[in-house]
Structure 1
Protein backbone atom coordinates (compact mmCIF):
# COMPACT_ATOMS: atom_id res chain seq x y z
CA UNK A 1 0.00 0.00 0.00
CA UNK A 2 1.01 3.65 -0.34
CA UNK A 3 1.72 5.61 2.86
CA UNK A 4 2.27 9.36 3.23
CA UNK A 5 4.33 10.60 6.18
CA UNK A 6 4.35 14.24 7.22
CA UNK A 7 7.55 15.11 9.06
CA UNK A 8 11.03 13.83 8.39
CA UNK A 9 12.48 13.96 11.86
CA UNK A 10 13.93 10.86 13.50
CA UNK A 11 10.50 9.24 13.86
CA UNK A 12 9.40 10.04 10.33
CA UNK A 13 12.65 8.78 8.81
CA UNK A 14 12.58 5.60 10.90
CA UNK A 15 8.93 4.96 10.03
CA UNK A 16 9.66 5.46 6.33
CA UNK A 17 12.49 2.94 6.45
CA UNK A 18 10.36 0.39 8.30
CA UNK A 19 7.47 0.72 5.84
CA UNK A 20 9.79 0.37 2.87
CA UNK A 21 11.26 -2.82 4.37
CA UNK A 22 7.70 -4.15 4.42
CA UNK A 23 7.44 -3.43 0.68
CA UNK A 24 5.07 -0.46 0.96
CA UNK A 25 5.52 2.64 -1.17
CA UNK A 26 6.23 5.74 0.88
CA UNK A 27 6.17 9.50 0.37
CA UNK A 28 7.70 11.78 3.00
CA UNK A 29 6.67 15.44 3.26
CA UNK A 30 8.70 18.11 5.08
CA UNK A 31 9.01 21.90 4.84
CA UNK A 32 12.80 21.65 5.13
CA UNK A 33 14.49 19.84 2.26
CA UNK A 34 17.55 19.32 4.48
CA UNK A 35 15.44 17.04 6.68
CA UNK A 36 15.47 14.37 3.97
CA UNK A 37 19.13 13.71 4.79
CA UNK A 38 17.80 11.73 7.76
CA UNK A 39 16.30 9.15 5.40
CA UNK A 40 18.04 5.83 4.94
CA UNK A 41 20.48 5.93 2.03
CA UNK A 42 18.50 3.09 0.46
CA UNK A 43 15.22 4.99 0.66
CA UNK A 44 13.57 4.86 -2.76
CA UNK A 45 10.31 6.63 -1.96
CA UNK A 46 9.15 10.15 -2.72
CA UNK A 47 10.56 13.26 -1.08
CA UNK A 48 8.13 16.18 -1.20
CA UNK A 49 9.19 19.59 0.06
CA UNK A 50 6.30 21.65 1.37
CA UNK A 51 3.77 22.19 4.12
CA UNK A 52 1.92 19.00 5.02
CA UNK A 53 -1.35 20.85 5.60
CA UNK A 54 -1.35 22.11 2.01
CA UNK A 55 -3.68 20.02 -0.17
CA UNK A 56 -1.56 20.48 -3.28
CA UNK A 57 1.52 19.28 -1.42
CA UNK A 58 -0.34 16.24 -0.14
CA UNK A 59 -1.63 15.54 -3.64
CA UNK A 60 1.95 15.65 -4.94
CA UNK A 61 2.82 13.05 -2.29
CA UNK A 62 0.13 10.76 -3.64
CA UNK A 63 -2.42 11.23 -0.87
CA UNK A 64 -5.26 10.42 -3.28
CA UNK A 65 -3.90 6.88 -3.66
CA UNK A 66 -2.73 6.52 -0.05
CA UNK A 67 -4.14 3.88 2.26
CA UNK A 68 -2.49 5.43 5.34
CA UNK A 69 -1.21 8.78 6.58
CA UNK A 70 1.05 9.53 9.56
CA UNK A 71 1.57 13.06 10.91
CA UNK A 72 4.79 13.02 12.95
CA UNK A 73 6.16 16.55 12.66
CA UNK A 74 7.26 18.43 15.78
CA UNK A 75 4.08 20.54 15.92
CA UNK A 76 0.83 19.33 17.48
CA UNK A 77 -1.32 21.77 15.51
CA UNK A 78 0.28 20.89 12.18
CA UNK A 79 -0.08 17.19 12.89
CA UNK A 80 -3.76 17.33 13.75
CA UNK A 81 -4.69 19.69 10.90
CA UNK A 82 -2.90 17.59 8.30
CA UNK A 83 -4.42 14.42 9.73
CA UNK A 84 -7.90 15.89 9.46
CA UNK A 85 -7.24 16.98 5.87
CA UNK A 86 -6.06 13.46 5.02
CA UNK A 87 -9.13 11.91 6.65
CA UNK A 88 -11.88 14.39 5.75
CA UNK A 89 -10.75 15.76 2.39
CA UNK A 90 -8.99 12.78 0.85
CA UNK A 91 -10.79 9.95 2.65
CA UNK A 92 -7.67 8.14 3.87
CA UNK A 93 -8.79 5.20 5.99
CA UNK A 94 -5.84 4.84 8.35
CA UNK A 95 -4.68 8.13 9.86
CA UNK A 96 -2.64 8.74 13.00
CA UNK A 97 -1.13 11.89 14.52
CA UNK A 98 1.65 12.25 17.07
CA UNK A 99 0.74 14.62 19.90
CA UNK A 100 3.16 15.97 22.49
CA UNK A 101 0.53 17.52 24.77
CA UNK A 102 -1.41 14.65 26.42
CA UNK A 103 -4.28 17.01 27.34
CA UNK A 104 -4.92 17.65 23.66
CA UNK A 105 -4.79 13.99 22.71
CA UNK A 106 -8.17 13.18 24.24
CA UNK A 107 -9.79 16.07 22.36
CA UNK A 108 -8.36 14.90 19.07
CA UNK A 109 -9.47 11.33 19.71
CA UNK A 110 -13.02 12.65 19.98
CA UNK A 111 -12.57 14.17 16.53
CA UNK A 112 -11.96 10.67 15.21
CA UNK A 113 -8.20 11.01 14.76
CA UNK A 114 -6.15 8.28 16.50
CA UNK A 115 -3.22 9.84 18.33
CA UNK A 116 0.04 8.76 19.88
CA UNK A 117 0.57 10.83 23.02
CA UNK A 118 4.37 10.87 23.07
CA UNK A 119 5.03 11.75 26.71
CA UNK A 120 2.78 9.11 28.38
CA UNK A 121 3.82 6.47 25.84
CA UNK A 122 7.52 7.12 26.42
CA UNK A 123 7.00 7.11 30.18
CA UNK A 124 5.36 3.68 29.98
CA UNK A 125 8.20 2.29 27.86
CA UNK A 126 10.74 3.41 30.47
CA UNK A 127 8.65 1.90 33.25
CA UNK A 128 8.60 -1.45 31.44
CA UNK A 129 12.40 -1.46 31.53
CA UNK A 130 12.87 -0.06 35.03
CA UNK A 131 10.22 -1.81 37.09
CA UNK A 132 9.57 -5.49 37.86
CA UNK A 133 7.49 -7.45 35.36
CA UNK A 134 3.77 -6.81 35.73
CA UNK A 135 4.07 -3.29 37.17
CA UNK A 136 4.17 -1.23 33.97
CA UNK A 137 0.94 -0.10 32.42
CA UNK A 138 -0.63 -2.13 29.62
CA UNK A 139 -2.75 0.77 28.34
CA UNK A 140 -3.21 4.45 29.02
CA UNK A 141 -6.09 6.58 27.75
CA UNK A 142 -5.15 9.55 25.54
CA UNK A 143 -4.97 12.23 28.24
CA UNK A 144 -2.65 10.03 30.29
CA UNK A 145 -4.86 10.28 33.38
CA UNK A 146 -6.05 6.67 33.69
CA UNK A 147 -3.80 3.63 33.30
CA UNK A 148 -4.60 -0.08 33.07
CA UNK A 149 -1.99 -2.43 34.48
CA UNK A 150 -1.57 -6.04 35.51
CA UNK A 151 -1.45 -5.97 39.29
CA UNK A 152 1.20 -8.12 41.01
CA UNK A 153 -0.67 -9.64 43.97
CA UNK A 154 0.50 -11.02 47.29
CA UNK A 155 -0.50 -14.69 47.55
CA UNK A 156 -2.62 -13.75 50.53
CA UNK A 157 -5.23 -12.23 48.21
CA UNK A 158 -6.24 -15.67 46.93
CA UNK A 159 -9.72 -16.38 48.25
CA UNK A 160 -10.59 -12.72 48.84
CA UNK A 161 -13.27 -10.76 47.02
CA UNK A 162 -12.44 -8.36 44.23
CA UNK A 163 -14.39 -5.65 46.08
CA UNK A 164 -11.99 -5.92 49.03
CA UNK A 165 -8.99 -5.64 46.71
CA UNK A 166 -10.48 -2.50 45.15
CA UNK A 167 -11.08 -0.86 48.54
CA UNK A 168 -7.57 -1.64 49.73
CA UNK A 169 -5.72 -0.52 46.61
CA UNK A 170 -7.96 2.36 45.54
CA UNK A 171 -8.19 0.93 42.03
CA UNK A 172 -10.95 -0.64 39.93
CA UNK A 173 -10.57 -4.21 38.73
CA UNK A 174 -11.19 -4.13 34.96
CA UNK A 175 -10.96 -7.85 34.24
CA UNK A 176 -9.18 -11.06 35.19
CA UNK A 177 -7.33 -13.47 32.93
CA UNK A 178 -8.19 -16.92 34.25
CA UNK A 179 -6.91 -20.08 32.54
CA UNK A 180 -6.24 -18.03 29.42
CA UNK A 181 -9.73 -16.53 29.26
CA UNK A 182 -10.79 -12.97 30.06
CA UNK A 183 -13.36 -12.73 32.86
CA UNK A 184 -15.46 -9.65 33.66
CA UNK A 185 -15.76 -9.41 37.42
CA UNK A 186 -18.53 -8.61 39.85
CA UNK A 187 -18.31 -7.40 43.44
CA UNK A 188 -18.53 -10.99 44.69
CA UNK A 189 -15.88 -12.40 42.35
CA UNK A 190 -13.19 -14.25 44.30
CA UNK A 191 -9.51 -14.02 43.39
CA UNK A 192 -8.20 -17.48 42.51
CA UNK A 193 -4.69 -18.91 42.28
CA UNK A 194 -2.89 -18.01 39.04
CA UNK A 195 -5.36 -15.20 38.22
CA UNK A 196 -3.84 -12.30 36.30
CA UNK A 197 -5.70 -9.27 37.67
CA UNK A 198 -5.88 -6.12 35.56
CA UNK A 199 -6.93 -2.88 37.23
CA UNK A 200 -7.65 0.70 36.18
CA UNK A 201 -6.00 3.38 38.30
CA UNK A 202 -5.23 7.09 38.19
CA UNK A 203 -1.74 7.51 36.76
CA UNK A 204 -0.37 9.29 39.83
CA UNK A 205 -1.50 6.46 42.12
CA UNK A 206 0.01 3.48 40.26
CA UNK A 207 2.95 3.12 42.67
CA UNK A 208 0.67 3.19 45.74
CA UNK A 209 -1.82 0.78 44.15
CA UNK A 210 0.96 -1.66 43.33
CA UNK A 211 2.47 -1.43 46.81
CA UNK A 212 -0.91 -2.10 48.47
CA UNK A 213 -1.53 -5.16 46.28
CA UNK A 214 1.87 -6.63 47.14
CA UNK A 215 1.06 -6.58 50.85
CA UNK A 216 -0.97 -9.31 52.47
CA UNK A 217 -4.61 -8.27 53.05
CA UNK A 218 -5.68 -7.44 56.56
CA UNK A 219 -7.82 -10.21 57.96
CA UNK A 220 -11.27 -9.06 59.08
CA UNK A 221 -12.20 -9.91 62.64
Structure 2
Protein backbone atom coordinates (compact mmCIF):
# COMPACT_ATOMS: atom_id res chain seq x y z
CA UNK A 1 0.00 0.00 0.00
CA UNK A 2 1.01 3.64 -0.35
CA UNK A 3 1.47 5.65 2.85
CA UNK A 4 1.91 9.40 3.17
CA UNK A 5 3.77 10.65 6.24
CA UNK A 6 3.81 14.28 7.35
CA UNK A 7 6.90 15.09 9.39
CA UNK A 8 10.40 13.81 8.76
CA UNK A 9 11.60 13.89 12.34
CA UNK A 10 12.88 10.88 14.25
CA UNK A 11 9.46 9.22 14.35
CA UNK A 12 8.52 10.01 10.76
CA UNK A 13 11.82 8.88 9.28
CA UNK A 14 11.87 5.69 11.37
CA UNK A 15 8.30 4.89 10.35
CA UNK A 16 9.16 5.53 6.69
CA UNK A 17 12.06 3.07 6.84
CA UNK A 18 9.98 0.38 8.57
CA UNK A 19 7.15 0.71 6.05
CA UNK A 20 9.53 0.59 3.11
CA UNK A 21 11.28 -2.48 4.56
CA UNK A 22 7.86 -4.14 4.71
CA UNK A 23 7.27 -3.58 1.02
CA UNK A 24 5.08 -0.46 1.11
CA UNK A 25 5.56 2.67 -0.96
CA UNK A 26 6.10 5.83 1.07
CA UNK A 27 6.01 9.58 0.55
CA UNK A 28 7.22 11.83 3.33
CA UNK A 29 6.42 15.53 3.67
CA UNK A 30 8.34 18.18 5.59
CA UNK A 31 8.51 21.94 5.28
CA UNK A 32 12.26 21.85 5.96
CA UNK A 33 14.22 20.14 3.15
CA UNK A 34 17.10 19.58 5.58
CA UNK A 35 14.88 17.19 7.53
CA UNK A 36 15.19 14.61 4.75
CA UNK A 37 18.80 14.05 5.83
CA UNK A 38 17.35 11.72 8.45
CA UNK A 39 16.38 9.32 5.67
CA UNK A 40 18.91 6.65 4.77
CA UNK A 41 20.77 7.03 1.48
CA UNK A 42 18.92 4.14 -0.12
CA UNK A 43 15.41 5.39 0.71
CA UNK A 44 13.26 4.94 -2.40
CA UNK A 45 10.21 6.93 -1.36
CA UNK A 46 9.17 10.42 -2.38
CA UNK A 47 10.48 13.45 -0.52
CA UNK A 48 8.04 16.34 -0.74
CA UNK A 49 8.90 19.78 0.63
CA UNK A 50 5.91 21.75 1.85
CA UNK A 51 3.12 22.05 4.39
CA UNK A 52 1.34 18.79 5.12
CA UNK A 53 -2.17 20.19 4.90
CA UNK A 54 -1.62 21.98 1.57
CA UNK A 55 -3.75 20.34 -1.12
CA UNK A 56 -1.12 20.51 -3.87
CA UNK A 57 1.58 19.18 -1.56
CA UNK A 58 -0.58 16.22 -0.61
CA UNK A 59 -1.39 15.48 -4.24
CA UNK A 60 2.33 15.56 -5.07
CA UNK A 61 2.87 13.04 -2.26
CA UNK A 62 0.30 10.72 -3.82
CA UNK A 63 -2.53 11.21 -1.33
CA UNK A 64 -5.12 10.33 -3.99
CA UNK A 65 -3.83 6.76 -4.10
CA UNK A 66 -2.83 6.51 -0.43
CA UNK A 67 -4.22 3.79 1.81
CA UNK A 68 -3.00 5.58 4.94
CA UNK A 69 -1.89 9.00 6.18
CA UNK A 70 0.22 9.65 9.27
CA UNK A 71 0.80 13.08 10.82
CA UNK A 72 3.84 13.12 13.12
CA UNK A 73 5.18 16.66 12.85
CA UNK A 74 6.12 18.59 16.00
CA UNK A 75 2.90 20.63 16.00
CA UNK A 76 -0.45 19.40 17.32
CA UNK A 77 -2.44 21.87 15.22
CA UNK A 78 -0.61 20.97 12.00
CA UNK A 79 -1.06 17.27 12.67
CA UNK A 80 -4.77 17.42 13.29
CA UNK A 81 -5.49 19.82 10.40
CA UNK A 82 -3.56 17.68 7.93
CA UNK A 83 -5.23 14.52 9.24
CA UNK A 84 -8.66 16.05 8.73
CA UNK A 85 -7.75 17.24 5.23
CA UNK A 86 -6.52 13.75 4.32
CA UNK A 87 -9.73 12.17 5.59
CA UNK A 88 -12.36 14.73 4.64
CA UNK A 89 -10.97 16.09 1.37
CA UNK A 90 -9.24 13.03 -0.01
CA UNK A 91 -11.24 10.25 1.63
CA UNK A 92 -8.33 8.45 3.29
CA UNK A 93 -9.91 6.18 5.89
CA UNK A 94 -6.77 5.06 7.71
CA UNK A 95 -5.49 8.26 9.34
CA UNK A 96 -3.44 8.68 12.52
CA UNK A 97 -2.21 11.88 14.18
CA UNK A 98 0.37 12.31 16.91
CA UNK A 99 -0.80 14.71 19.62
CA UNK A 100 1.31 15.95 22.52
CA UNK A 101 -1.57 17.39 24.55
CA UNK A 102 -3.67 14.50 25.95
CA UNK A 103 -6.68 16.80 26.40
CA UNK A 104 -6.67 17.58 22.71
CA UNK A 105 -6.25 13.91 21.89
CA UNK A 106 -9.57 13.16 23.55
CA UNK A 107 -11.35 15.85 21.53
CA UNK A 108 -9.88 14.73 18.22
CA UNK A 109 -10.65 11.09 18.94
CA UNK A 110 -14.31 12.07 19.26
CA UNK A 111 -14.05 13.69 15.83
CA UNK A 112 -13.08 10.31 14.44
CA UNK A 113 -9.33 10.94 14.09
CA UNK A 114 -7.28 8.22 15.82
CA UNK A 115 -4.55 9.88 17.87
CA UNK A 116 -1.40 8.89 19.72
CA UNK A 117 -0.96 11.07 22.82
CA UNK A 118 2.80 10.71 23.13
CA UNK A 119 3.30 12.53 26.42
CA UNK A 120 0.85 10.31 28.31
CA UNK A 121 2.05 7.17 26.57
CA UNK A 122 5.69 7.96 27.43
CA UNK A 123 4.79 8.72 31.04
CA UNK A 124 2.96 5.39 31.33
CA UNK A 125 5.93 3.47 29.93
CA UNK A 126 8.36 5.16 32.34
CA UNK A 127 6.08 4.47 35.32
CA UNK A 128 5.85 0.79 34.36
CA UNK A 129 9.63 0.57 34.51
CA UNK A 130 9.94 2.54 37.75
CA UNK A 131 7.24 0.49 39.48
CA UNK A 132 7.18 -2.93 37.79
CA UNK A 133 5.05 -4.49 40.53
CA UNK A 134 2.23 -2.03 40.13
CA UNK A 135 -0.55 -1.85 37.58
CA UNK A 136 0.54 0.96 35.30
CA UNK A 137 -1.29 0.77 31.95
CA UNK A 138 0.22 -0.80 28.88
CA UNK A 139 -2.52 0.97 26.90
CA UNK A 140 -5.08 3.62 27.72
CA UNK A 141 -7.97 4.77 25.54
CA UNK A 142 -7.85 8.50 24.67
CA UNK A 143 -10.56 9.37 27.18
CA UNK A 144 -8.63 7.67 29.96
CA UNK A 145 -11.66 5.54 30.85
CA UNK A 146 -10.40 2.07 29.93
CA UNK A 147 -6.91 0.64 30.39
CA UNK A 148 -5.01 -2.52 29.57
CA UNK A 149 -2.65 -3.22 32.46
CA UNK A 150 -0.18 -5.80 33.66
CA UNK A 151 -1.14 -6.79 37.20
CA UNK A 152 0.81 -8.81 39.75
CA UNK A 153 -1.01 -11.48 41.75
CA UNK A 154 -0.46 -13.23 45.08
CA UNK A 155 0.80 -16.86 44.89
CA UNK A 156 -2.52 -17.89 46.40
CA UNK A 157 -4.16 -17.23 43.03
CA UNK A 158 -2.12 -19.99 41.35
CA UNK A 159 -4.54 -22.72 40.33
CA UNK A 160 -7.56 -20.40 40.26
CA UNK A 161 -9.70 -20.32 37.13
CA UNK A 162 -9.66 -17.19 34.97
CA UNK A 163 -13.43 -16.82 35.28
CA UNK A 164 -13.06 -16.76 39.08
CA UNK A 165 -10.36 -14.09 38.83
CA UNK A 166 -12.73 -12.01 36.71
CA UNK A 167 -15.61 -12.53 39.14
CA UNK A 168 -13.47 -11.47 42.09
CA UNK A 169 -11.96 -8.39 40.49
CA UNK A 170 -14.58 -7.21 38.00
CA UNK A 171 -11.84 -7.04 35.37
CA UNK A 172 -11.61 -8.87 32.05
CA UNK A 173 -8.51 -11.01 31.66
CA UNK A 174 -7.21 -10.03 28.23
CA UNK A 175 -4.29 -12.42 27.97
CA UNK A 176 -1.59 -14.24 29.89
CA UNK A 177 2.10 -14.33 29.15
CA UNK A 178 3.23 -17.86 29.96
CA UNK A 179 6.87 -18.86 29.52
CA UNK A 180 7.37 -16.02 27.06
CA UNK A 181 4.29 -16.84 24.99
CA UNK A 182 1.09 -14.78 24.98
CA UNK A 183 -2.10 -16.84 25.26
CA UNK A 184 -5.77 -15.87 25.26
CA UNK A 185 -7.24 -17.83 28.17
CA UNK A 186 -10.58 -19.61 28.32
CA UNK A 187 -12.85 -19.21 31.34
CA UNK A 188 -11.58 -22.50 32.75
CA UNK A 189 -7.88 -21.75 32.25
CA UNK A 190 -5.97 -22.02 35.53
CA UNK A 191 -3.38 -19.43 36.57
CA UNK A 192 0.08 -20.94 36.81
CA UNK A 193 3.16 -19.89 38.75
CA UNK A 194 5.12 -17.41 36.64
CA UNK A 195 2.15 -16.26 34.56
CA UNK A 196 2.05 -12.56 33.71
CA UNK A 197 -1.54 -11.37 33.98
CA UNK A 198 -2.94 -8.65 31.73
CA UNK A 199 -6.40 -7.25 32.39
CA UNK A 200 -8.76 -4.75 30.76
CA UNK A 201 -10.81 -2.61 33.11
CA UNK A 202 -12.07 0.87 33.89
CA UNK A 203 -9.16 2.92 35.14
CA UNK A 204 -11.06 3.93 38.27
CA UNK A 205 -11.23 0.24 39.23
CA UNK A 206 -7.50 -0.50 38.92
CA UNK A 207 -6.69 0.29 42.55
CA UNK A 208 -9.39 -2.13 43.70
CA UNK A 209 -8.22 -4.82 41.26
CA UNK A 210 -4.61 -4.53 42.40
CA UNK A 211 -5.71 -4.70 46.03
CA UNK A 212 -7.78 -7.85 45.48
CA UNK A 213 -4.98 -9.63 43.63
CA UNK A 214 -2.24 -8.54 46.05
CA UNK A 215 -3.60 -10.95 48.66
CA UNK A 216 -4.86 -14.54 48.53
CA UNK A 217 -8.41 -15.25 47.34
CA UNK A 218 -11.05 -14.87 50.01
CA UNK A 219 -13.19 -17.83 51.02
CA UNK A 220 -16.11 -16.42 48.99
CA UNK A 221 -13.94 -16.53 45.88
Q: Is the TM value for this pair above 0.5?
A: yes
Whole-Å separation in 1 of the counterparts to 2:59 and 2:168: 55
**Alpha-carbon RMSD:** 3.3
Is contact 2:166–2:172 with CA below 8 Å preserved after alignment?
no
Whole-Å separation in 1 of the counterparts to 2:89 and 2:185: 40
1:23 is aligned to 23
1:206 is displaced (CA, Å) by 5.6
1:154 is aligned to 154
Query: Counterparts in 2 of 1:134-145, with a 5 A limit?
Result: 135-144=135-144
* Alignment TM-score, normalising by the size of structure 2: 0.77
Deviation digits for residues 126-170 of structure 1 (CA, Å, limit 9, x no counterpart) = 34545547845232111446422132221335599669854xxxx
From 172, 175, 183, the counterpart of 1:174: 172
> Quick one: structure 1 residues 21 and 85, their matched pair in 2 at CA, closer, same or farther if it must change by over 3 Å?
same
1:175 is displaced (CA, Å) by 3.8
Is contact 2:148–2:198 with CA below 8 Å preserved after alignment?
no
1:8 is aligned to 8
**Unmatched runs of 5 consecutive residues or more in structure 2:** 177-182
1:57 is displaced (CA, Å) by 0.8
SS at match of 2:8: coil
Whole-Å separation in 2 of the counterparts to 1:197 and 1:138: 9
SS at match of 2:53: coil
Is contact 1:173–1:197 with CA below 8 Å preserved after alignment?
no
SS at match of 1:95: strand
1:187 is aligned to none
Whole-Å separation in 1 of the counterparts to 2:21 and 2:57: 25
Query: Counterparts in 2 of 1:86-97, with a 5 A limit?
Result: 86-97=86-97
**Unmatched runs of 5 consecutive residues or more in structure 1:** 167-171, 185-189
SS at match of 1:153: coil
SS at match of 1:96: strand
Is contact 1:120–1:144 with CA below 8 Å preserved after alignment?
no
